[in-house]
Amino acid sequence: MKELNSTTDAIGQNLVKLISNLCFSVFVFSVLIFTVIAITYQPPDPWESSRALTGVFTQVENATFQADTSVLKTGEDIAAPWAVPAGAAEPINETVIEKSEENFASLTLKSGCEDVRVVNCSDPRLLIAIEKFNLKVFKSVVFLEYQIPVNGSKADECDVAWRFRNKKEKSWRKYRDFRRFKIGFGGNCTYEVLSARGWHSGINARRARVRVKATGRDENAKITSAIRDDEINDTIPVLGSDSAFRKGKYLYYSRGGDYCKGMNHYLWSFLCALGEAQYLNRTFVMDLSICLAGMHTQSNKDEEGKDFRFYFDFEHLKEVASIVQEEEFLQDWKKWDRVHKKKIPVRKVASYKITPMQLKKDKSTIIWRQFDGPEPDNYWYRVCEGQAAKYVQRPWRAVWKSKRLMNIVSEISGRMDWDFDAVHVVRGEKAQNKELWPHLDADTSPDALVAKLQGMIQSRRNLYVATNEPFYYYFDKLRSHYKVHLLDDYKELWGNSSEWYNETRLLNAGRSVDFDGYMRVEVDTEVLYRAKTQVETFYNLTNDCKDGINTC
């Protein structure tokens, strides 16, 4: 009996040890797998689908960067429907035009309608005729304000400029067009618009050119005539006096492992930091210098020294968030410590595990988060994980795309008279990976595109192709059916005589700026969003899943 009990006890002990060893092995293996995934993970290129990142970027239940291969949307795309800001002019619609007509109803062209062949471009009723014409023709545009028309090149022509926005853009930014109109007369001596020329044809109504001189390291920089967008104010804010600096409260992030990662990763981390600053009611110390990952550069190598303002709207950011530029901040900090015996109170935070909630009541002038650990512990976005996700909200509406790039978007759309369709064709490395996307290459072949699009888009329409296919002539078979437009058809918009070129060079100390891969993504994506019909690769052209087989 004793032997039986002894044997039973031994079996029980061995079983307990076996289960314990098994559980420990599973635990160790799970930690190992998680560590490998965390270290090797990099957010994907934002090329691969035009579905919104809205849900991914606005949910806070799980703050960790999620693997989504959608093209990037920013604040002006996911914002609530726009509203007229205080003090802004009312959009020019039928009601506004009717009021204008009532105000000028007493005017006559000539006594007894004499000499009705003479066109007076400054006549208020001529502008009303142009406003009516534009509302009828450009239905996707909101007209905000007009300038007084001026004489064109002929007696029956008038040039007029106006500011507008596209109805699909939710921001309140203004864009500019100026066109030439051929004017005639209808019944009762009223003005009529007989025809209108294309985008930016009314050259007599455009703004005066200003002389722009590039300064900085480029001693051979030429003085160039350029039209600058006078609505862009992305100058760096200055703190001012010592007392103003000392009274402030700042959140300062040292550079971490996010540097030189993809742009989606950068934004996910940057907005975590900005969200923490807002939660702590502090001014965020911002480094305007960006390292652009090799996936977006012409050299295919990571490139440092890119300016945040090349890609995003700094003017809007500083209007909606409390920020100070890093270089300016460090200068003021050093100046204070040099002049005053009493040093600035600084709280150094070495780990992301110290949560924003623990720092909420900290009285230090500067909270300095340092990210010196190994990846992924040195990613900024780790601060917003776990319980912090319930408290820190990423302010996505603070990030808009660069107005300079959006001017290019408006130029491309305007040249197609805002009346076009678009197809987003994903190819690149995905088309070559037959294991994950077995049908993508064939489904996006020229013949397949023709067959598919003919059932979705009317022939002879303007068709914009947003794509990562590098071979320009790949889409030539579409040209017999559509008026095909590709981004490279508009190279002069970022060429060395363009507004974009001159303004970005001024931001870059006189050195020219490459129109890189991420800028192409931004412009391509925004033109796609403005199309009347949008055809997607993974929703219309192929049955393959956008993230590979078995991920639909």
Answer whether residue 78 shows pLDDT above 80.
no
Residue 334: other Cβ atoms inside 10 A = 10
Query: Quick one: average pLDDT of 324-350?
Result: 92
Q: Which of 367, 398, 429 is the last residue of a domain?
A: 398
Looking at residue 16, its pLDDT comes to: 59
Does one domain contain both 113 and 133? yes
- For 158-192, write each residue's pLDDT tens digit: 999 999 999 988 888 899 999 999 999 887 778 99
Answer whether residue 19 shows pLDDT above 90.
no
* Dihedral in degrees, nearest 10, Cα atoms 76, 81, 85, 89: 100
- For 109-133, write each residue's pLDDT tens digit: 454 455 556 899 999 999 999 999 9
- Structural domains in the chain (count): 3
Does one domain contain both 244 and 386? yes
CATH classification at residue 490: 3.40.50
Sign, Cα dihedral of 90, 91, 95, 97: positive
Fill in the amino acid letter for 426: V
| 3-state SS string for 393-443 | CCCHHHCCECHHHHHHHHHHHHHCCCCCEEEEECCHHHHHCCCCCCCHHHH
Answer whether residue 311 shows pLDDT above 90.
yes
Let me know: does 186 contact 403? Beta carbons within 8 Å.
no
For every residue of 445-485, DSSP letters joined together read SHHHHHHHHHTTS-TT-EEEEEE----GGGGGGGGGTSEEE
Tokens read off for 462: 């303007």
For the chain, the C-alpha Rg in angstroms (whole number) is 29
Does one domain contain both 423 and 532? yes
- Among 507, 73, 497, 487, smallest CA distance to 290 is for 507
- For 394-449, write each residue's pLDDT tens digit: 999 999 999 999 999 999 999 999 999 999 999 988 999 999 999 999 999 999 99
Looking at residue 369, its pLDDT comes to: 98
Q: 548: phi > 0 → left, psi -120 to 50 → alpha, else beta; which?
A: left
- For 245-276, write each residue's pLDDT tens digit: 888 999 999 999 999 999 999 999 999 999 99
The answer to whether residue 226 is domain-embedded is: no
Looking at residue 115, its pLDDT comes to: 52
The answer to whether residue 222 is domain-embedded is: no
Tokens read off for 177: 């067009």
Tokens read off for 244: 């103003």
Does one domain contain both 410 and 495? yes
Mutual orientation of helices 403-415 and 517-529 as an angle, nearest 10°? 50
Whole-angstrom distance, CA of residue 523 vs CA of residue 28: 46
Looking at residue 273, its pLDDT comes to: 98
Give the list of residues 6+ apart from residue 106 with CB closer than 8 angstroms, or none. Answer: none
- For 27-61, write each residue's pLDDT tens digit: 656 655 555 444 443 333 343 433 333 344 334 44
Q: From residue 457, how far is each of 22, 451, 531 by CA, in Å?
A: 60, 11, 12
- For 486-508, write each residue's pLDDT tens digit: 999 999 999 999 999 999 999 99
The answer to whether residue 435 is domain-embedded is: yes
Report the residue count for the chain. 552
Distance, C-alpha 58 to centroid of its chain: 16
Where b means 16+ CB within 10 Å and e means fewer, 46-67 reads bbbbbbbbeebbeeeeebbbee
- pLDDT band at residue 377, thresholds of 50, 70 and 90? very high
Q: Which of 205, 223, 250 is the last residue of a domain?
A: 205
Fill in the amino acid letter for 208: A
Distance, C-alpha 454 to centroid of its chain: 31
Answer whether residue 62 shows pLDDT above 80.
no
Whole-angstrom distance, CA of residue 355 vs CA of residue 403: 35
Looking at residue 340, its pLDDT comes to: 86
- pLDDT band at residue 85, thresholds of 50, 70 and 90? low
Does one domain contain both 243 and 369? yes
Does one domain contain both 127 and 150? yes
Q: Which of 371, 398, 425 is the last residue of a domain?
A: 398
Query: Quick one: average pLDDT of 1-10?
Result: 50
- Note down the domain range covering 128: 94-168+175-205
The answer to whether residue 326 is domain-embedded is: yes
The answer to whether residue 552 is domain-embedded is: no
Does one domain contain both 275 and 354? yes
Whole-angstrom distance, CA of residue 271 vs CA of residue 275: 6
Does one domain contain both 239 and 268? yes
Query: Quick one: average pLDDT of 3-31?
Result: 59
Let me know: does 252 contact 366? Beta carbons within 8 Å.
yes
**Over the chain, what is the mean pLDDT?**
84
Looking at residue 209, its pLDDT comes to: 59
The pairs formed by 115-119 with CB atoms below 8 angstroms and a separation of 24 or more are 116/185, 116/189, 117/156, 117/185, 118/155, 119/155, 119/156, 119/157, 119/158, 119/183, 119/191
Does one domain contain both 276 and 354? yes
Whole-angstrom distance, CA of residue 375 vs CA of residue 65: 14
Mutual orientation of helices 124-137 and 94-103 as an angle, nearest 10°? 160
Looking at residue 443, its pLDDT comes to: 96
The answer to whether residue 5 is domain-embedded is: no
Q: Work out whether strand 366-369 and strand 250-253 pair parallel, antiparallel, or are unpaired.
A: parallel
Whole-angstrom distance, CA of residue 457 vs CA of residue 478: 12
Tokens read off for 105: 């109803």
Looking at residue 38, its pLDDT comes to: 42
Let me know: does 378 contact 257? Beta carbons within 8 Å.
yes
Does one domain contain both 379 and 409? no
Looking at residue 27, its pLDDT comes to: 62
Does one domain contain both 442 and 392? no
Looking at residue 100, its pLDDT comes to: 83
Let me know: does 295 contact 520? Beta carbons within 8 Å.
no
Query: Quick one: average pLDDT of 101-112?
Result: 61
Whole-angstrom distance, CA of residue 441 vs CA of residue 379: 36
Answer whether residue 509 shows pLDDT above 60.
yes
The answer to whether residue 54 is domain-embedded is: no
The answer to whether residue 55 is domain-embedded is: no
- For 189-214, write each residue's pLDDT tens digit: 789 999 999 999 999 999 775 554 54
Higher pLDDT, 374 or 69: 374
Does one domain contain both 346 and 417? no
Answer whether residue 240 shows pLDDT above 90.
no
Answer whether residue 370 shows pLDDT above 70.
yes
In the block, tokens 């974009």 appear at: 500
Looking at residue 56, its pLDDT comes to: 41
